[in-house]
């Protein structure tokens, strides 16, 4: 359908965790992600008659309250650019579970940015869309692009230098991801809330320095096509994030027994000579980074881990 727009979630290899400006969603550090082609959000936006209010329907269910307010405030950014006061109907569908650490807000706001660009006839570039998508959800700025994506933190107070761009990874047969779904439930603490707790914690300054260092190493690894180095950085950065979260008061715990079982199996696979690395975002599900040629082997291994409900391969 011509006015339907698609975006994919992304999984961070070097995580975005904490904002220097909450309103503009400006991060303290840059981050690096892989876009998950296997999952997607589809979104349609239609103008409805003036004077009425915006409507938001997600997965066929009309939403009110905070979800609608967030979508409406995001559409305002586009209305302002277009000089329009048209109310809209936003219809969106995800083909994966929401709020379980699979970044549905990333693909959601990226797809919505594309759909608004179309309905308000703004003809914005991908970079401009990335800057706007960031205002909906930080990680959404990365979901404007495919493949390996760098979000530069930027320095400006207005956020115009805080956007994502694609990075080439020279190695063939390329990178792949396997998501091990161990929970389809809504997480109790949103990433926005957990981030705020972290920023106020004592260890946060060290987190910023560590992340900057990891990002530099990850970019170096990406540039030279060094899969091993990239995988090591990703696994280690994820481990640090979850250790930090679990040490907060009160602790924020996303890792479950099933997540831990997957993390162990990934280590065993490496010991057996299959190079695979794990990473987790703000939820219990585990993402495994691997080489495309190892996808079938890893899929068979991870599917057999106790507590894994299903796996989603993504090249």
Q: Which of 54, 281, 299, 301 binds ligand 2P0 (CB under 6 A)?
A: 281
Cα 133 to Cα 161: distance, rounded to the nearest angstrom: 13
Part of the chain binding ligand 2P0 (CB under 6 A), chosen from 119-127, 131-139, 178-186, 261-269:
131-139
Position 28 contacts ligand 2P0 (CB under 6 A)? no
Position 84 contacts ligand 2P0 (CB under 6 A)? no
> Which two three-digit tokens encode residue 194?
């957990």
Smallest separation, CB 112 to ligand 2P0 (Å): 13
Cβ contact 248:197 at 8 Å: yes
Q: Which of 108, 138, 154, 231 binds ligand 2P0 (CB under 6 A)?
A: 138
Cβ contact 110:140 at 8 Å: yes
Number of residues that bind ligand 2P0 (CB under 6 A): 17
Nearer to ligand 2P0, 244 or 269 (CB): 244
Of 90, 86, 108, whose CA–CA distance to 40 is shortest? 108
φ and ψ at residue 140, rounded to 5 degrees? -65, -25
Q: Which of 6, 86, 165, 192 binds ligand 2P0 (CB under 6 A)?
A: 192
**Residues 5-24, interacting with ligand 2P0 (CB under 6 A):** 12, 15-17
Q: Which of 8, 20, 25, 237 binds ligand 2P0 (CB under 6 A)?
A: 25
Residue nearest to ligand 2P0 (CB): 138
Nearer to ligand 2P0, 43 or 191 (CB): 191
Exposure of 224 in the CB half-sphere (CA atoms within 13 A): 9
Position 29 contacts ligand 2P0 (CB under 6 A)? no
Nearer to ligand 2P0, 87 or 112 (CB): 112
What is the distance between the terminal CA atoms of the chain, rounded to a whole angstrom?
25
Per the rule left: phi > 0, alpha: psi between -120 and 50, beta: everything else, 99 is left
Nearer to ligand 2P0, 31 or 314 (CB): 31
Exposure of 40 in the CB half-sphere (CA atoms within 13 A): 12
CA distances from 245 to 100, 203, 254 (A): 16, 10, 8
Taking the alpha carbons of 35, 263, 245, 235 in that order, is the dihedral positive or negative? negative
Nearer to ligand 2P0, 138 or 159 (CB): 138
Binding footprint of ligand 2P0 on the chain (CB under 6 A): 12, 15-17, 25, 31, 103, 105-106, 137-139, 191-192, 195, 281-282
């Amino acid at each position: 359908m011509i006015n339907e727009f698609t975006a994919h979630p992304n999984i961070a290899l070097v995580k975005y965790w904490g904002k220097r400006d909450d309103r503009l969603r400006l991060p303290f550090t840059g981050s690096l992600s892989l876009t998950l082609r296997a999952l997607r959000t589809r979104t349609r936006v239609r103008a409805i008659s003036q004077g009425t209010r915006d409507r938001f329907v997600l997965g066929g269910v009309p939403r009110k309250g905070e979800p609608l307010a967030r979508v409406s405030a995001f559409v305002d950014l586009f209305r302002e650019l277009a000089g329009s006061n048209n109310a809209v109907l936003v219809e969106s569908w995800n083909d994966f579970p929401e709020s379980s650490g699979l970044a549905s807000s990333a693909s959601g706001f990226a797809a919505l940015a594309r759909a608004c660009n179309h309905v308000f006839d703004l003809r914005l570039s991908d970079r401009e869309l990335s800057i706007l998508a960031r205002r909906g959800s930080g990680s959404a700025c990365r979901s404007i692009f495919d493949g390996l994506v760098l979000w530069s933190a930027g320095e400006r107070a207005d956020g115009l230098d805080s956007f994502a761009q694609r990075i080439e990874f020279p190695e063939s047969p390329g990178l792949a991801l396997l998501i091990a779904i161990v929970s389809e439930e809504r997480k109790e603490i949103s990433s926005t809330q957990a981030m705020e707790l972290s920023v106020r914690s004592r260890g946060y300054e060290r987190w910023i320095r560590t992340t900057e260092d990891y990002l530099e190493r990850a970019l170096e690894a990406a540039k030279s096509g060094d899969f091993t180095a990239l995988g090591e950085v990703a696994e280690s950065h994820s481990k640090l994030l979850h250790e930090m979260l679990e040490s907060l008061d009160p602790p924020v715990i996303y890792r479950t027994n099933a997540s831990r079982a997957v993390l162990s199996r990934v280590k065993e696979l490496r010991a057996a000579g299959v190079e695979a690395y794990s990473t987790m975002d703000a939820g219990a599900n585990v993402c495994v980074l691997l080489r495309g040629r190892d996808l079938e082997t890893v899929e068979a291994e991870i599917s057999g881990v106790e507590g894994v409900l299903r796996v989603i391969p993504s090249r």
